[in-house]
């Protein structure tokens, strides 16, 4: 489903050529990369869901040269931006972007990945869409594969900062189907999909990082 990005949820600016630059992606790259270093396998295949501008996956591919990285997106402008970054980086372990709607059914049965990564998406989609991502990701993961999810979440049903409460309210005003997901809901939904919680980390700016593993 091509759900419209809510106002205030994402800001990008033109960079070089088709490249887009997201200041928020630049800010959260370091903590995400640090957490990823704790859970990434030494080698294998990785899929980044909703790669955005492409800023993150280039850095991940540089940091993990023995992993083959596959970016993905649903938006044509973002795909063009990712491919521009990929071309500029010229890394042998980084592929051009594929078009992927991760909220759709069926894609999880097509390929296998040892690592999957998703950042800052679940609060911008509905609970059924988020559930479908987890279900498909569980199918796409290889045995012992890991799926890292980063973003803002409720803690036990509570929005723990004024900024989170205001942003969640803004999202719900624009689209009542979206908004922050609860950490307990995510863990239970992942478990129902066949995944186990491997690691849960408090991140800067009141975000969380979850890593789920496939037995």
Q: What is the CATH number of the domain that holds 199?
A: 3.40.50.150
- 6 part of a folded domain: no
Task: Among 5-19, 82-96, 131-145, 169-183, name the one with the lowest average pLDDT.
Answer: 5-19
| pLDDT for position 201 | 98
- 190 part of a folded domain: yes
| pLDDT for position 11 | 74
pLDDT surpassing 60 at residue 1:
no
Q: Between 116 and 2, name the one with better pLDDT.
A: 116
- 61 part of a folded domain: yes
Count up the domains in the chain and report the number: 1
- 3 part of a folded domain: no
- 91 part of a folded domain: yes
Q: What is the pTM of this model?
A: 0.95
| pLDDT for position 15 | 80
Residues 6+ positions from 29 with CB-CB distance below 8 Å? 55, 56, 59
Q: What is the pLDDT of residues 64-78, one digit of tens each?
A: 999 999 999 999 999
Average pLDDT taken over every residue of the chain: 95
| pLDDT for position 183 | 98
| pLDDT for position 5 | 74
| pLDDT for position 137 | 98
Q: What is the mean pLDDT of residues 126-155?
A: 98
Q: Band of the pLDDT at 119, cuts 50, 70, 90? A: very high
Q: Band of the pLDDT at 2, cuts 50, 70, 90? A: low
- 183 part of a folded domain: yes
User: Structural domain of residue 156, as residue ranges?
Assistant: 13-213
């Amino acid at each position: 489903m091509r759900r419209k990005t809510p106002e205030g949820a994402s800001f990008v600016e033109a960079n070089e050529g088709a490249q887009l630059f997201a200041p928020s992606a630049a800010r959260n790259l370091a903590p995400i990369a640090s957490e990823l270093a704790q859970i990434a396998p030494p080698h294998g295949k990785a899929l980044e869901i909703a790669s955005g501008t492409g800023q993150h996956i280039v850095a991940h591919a540089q940091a993990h040269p023995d992993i083959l990285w596959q970016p993905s997106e649903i938006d044509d402008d973002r795909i063009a931006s990712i491919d521009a970054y990929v071309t500029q980086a010229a890394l042998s372990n980084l592929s051009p972007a594929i078009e992927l709607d991760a909220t759709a059914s069926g894609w999880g049965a097509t390929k296998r990945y040892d690592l999957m990564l998703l950042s800052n998406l679940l609060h911008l989609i509905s609970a059924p869409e988020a559930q479908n991502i987890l279900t498909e990701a569980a199918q796409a993961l290889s045995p012992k594969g890991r799926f890292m999810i980063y973003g803002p979440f409720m803690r036990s049903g509570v929005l723990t900062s004024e900024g989170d409460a205001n942003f969640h309210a803004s999202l719900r005003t624009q689209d009542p189907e979206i908004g922050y997901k609860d950490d307990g809901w995510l863990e239970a939904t992942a478990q129902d999909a066949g995944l186990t919680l491997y690691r849960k980390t408090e991140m800067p700016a009141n975000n969380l990082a979850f890593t789920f593993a496939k037995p």
